[in-house]
Amino acid sequence: MSEIKINDDILEIIKKNLPKRKSNGFRVIFNFARQIYSLPGNDNKDPAEFKHLIRQWYDLSSDKLVDTKSKNKIDFRAVEEDFYGAFAKIKQKVSNVNIEMAFKEVVESGEELPVKLQRTYRDSPELLLLMKLCRALNNRNTKDEFFLGQKDVGDLFNVSSQHGGSWLRALMRDGVIERLRKGSTNSGNSIYKYLFIGEEKC
């Protein structure tokens, strides 16, 4: 059984899911497991492949993990089993985990789109960045498709969700992305599955 490589995405998830106060850790362990599960390709993995990730998380969290009855520090094996149990119960991914990490990657990489696409949107740097995000999300998924909602776009670009939706529709109208089907998040917000086809136009 191979171990999952600890990359920047996983390090970011570990940092964001450290307990802030003393507790048995059940809720924060579930959230940690769900965000690891939500990364591309992880939903089909044996959770035992994440043991070294759990160990790294535990080493940073152990001073806050306390048994509610004995008040003693919770040992690693108990936390490991809690992670495995949480992982098995997860039914839906956290959609914005992958989106936020892809957006950060796109902003930091400075990678350019094909010249034809750049010319099409030379007066709209936001749409250019959104296209790069769509391509990055598409490439991160083994099935060459991705979920994205107008609220996600609005939050990332600090505009209204309606404005974000208009940008997505513009990319669809121009043949850059294709909408495949509609879904929803846990909070009830609409989210759509897309396919990035922009480079077929180049």
**Greater model confidence, 58 or 196:** 58
Task: Select from 117, 99, 111 the least CA-distant residue to 175.
Answer: 117
Domain limits for position 180: 95-201
180 assigned to some structural domain: yes
Total domain count, the chain: 2
* Residues 119-135 pLDDT 10s: 888 888 899 899 999 98
Q: CATH number, domain at 121?
A: 1.10.10.10
Q: What is the mean pLDDT of residues 159-166?
A: 92
Beta bridge partners of 184: 190
76 lies in the same domain as 103: no
68 assigned to some structural domain: yes
> Which range, of 2-6, 21-25, 124-128, averages the lowest pLDDT?
2-6
84 lies in the same domain as 99: no
CB atoms within 10 A of CB 188: 6
Domain final position from 54, 89, 124? 89
112 lies in the same domain as 147: yes
* Residues 105-120 pLDDT 10s: 888 887 777 777 778 8
* Residues 52-101 pLDDT 10s: 999 999 999 999 999 989 999 999 999 999 999 999 998 777 766 778 88
Task: Select from 184, 174, 180 the least CA-distant residue to 137.
Answer: 180
145 lies in the same domain as 49: no
64 lies in the same domain as 101: no
55 assigned to some structural domain: yes
**Reported pTM:** 0.58
CA angle 131, 137, 142 (to 5 degrees): 140
Instruction: Give the DSSP per-residue string, the chain.
Output: -PPPP--HHHHHHHHHT--SS-B--HHHHHHHHHHHHHSTTGGGS-GGGGHHHHHHHHHHHGGGBB-TTT-PBPPHHHHHHHHHHHHHH--S--HHHHHHHHHHHHHHH-PPPPHHHHHHTTT-HHHHHHHHHHHHHHHHSTTS-EEE-HHHHHHHHTS-HHHHHHHHHHHHHTTSEEEEEEEE-TTS-EEEEEEE-GGGG-
Domain final position from 49, 70, 89? 89
3 assigned to some structural domain: no
80 lies in the same domain as 101: no
Rounded to the nearest 5°, which phi and psi values hold at 71? Answer: 70, 15
100 lies in the same domain as 79: no
75 lies in the same domain as 102: no
2 assigned to some structural domain: no
Q: What's the confidence (pLDDT) of residue 38? A: 83
Domain final position from 89, 116, 146? 89
1 assigned to some structural domain: no
CA distances from 112 to 51, 118, 126, 152 (A): 37, 8, 14, 22
Q: What is the mean pLDDT of residues 1-15?
A: 78
Q: What's the confidence (pLDDT) of residue 73? A: 94
